[in-house]
Amino acid sequence: MPELSQETERGRPLLPFGPAEVTGPSMVPTLHHGDRLLVHYGARIRPGDVVVLRHPFQQDLLVVKRAAERREGGWWVLGDNVYAGGDSTDYGTVPAELVLGKVRGRFRPRKADQRSPFALVRWALSAVRPVLSDRSASRRLRAR
């Protein structure tokens, strides 16, 4: 279940920040299919952060999940959409070296049907947002 487009990996710059594009529903409502992300590669990861990582069984595939907690052997990561799957409940703890970076922001592209002035203003006010860590998320996510 891919979470980031494959073009992200090929085009990743050598700088500590780079772009990514979300594909898939596992991080709804935080992130949606088509959202563009600003990823801080090599950033310090803490519980509650939204992170980009290599899939443990298919390492050419990048996914985006929330780091729920640090465990022996790496990070326990979960999607914000409990019905989508494709997280540590399926593949276990993710080794720390597979966690590439922290998501710092997202840009939600405008939909083709957003043409009215009201729709454009609403889009403009919500299109660019920082992706903040949810420190309370690690407690909530552990309960699953």
**Model confidence, pTM:** 0.78
Give first-to-last CA distance, the chain, whole Å: 20
* Residue 37 DSSP one-character state: E
| Contact yes or no for 69/47 (Cβ under 8 A) | yes
For residue 139, give the 3-state DSSP assignment: helix
| pLDDT value at residue 14 | 63
What are the tens digits of pLDDT across the range 93-116? 999 999 999 999 999 888 888 788
> pLDDT tens-digit profile of 43-66?
999 999 999 999 999 989 999 999
Give residue 13's pLDDT: 47
* Paired strand residues for 76: 69
Q: Which two tokens stand for residue 144?
A: 């699953």
CA–CA distance, 27 with 111 (Å, rounded to integer): 19
Q: Which strand (E) or helix (H) includes residue 21?
A: strand 17-21
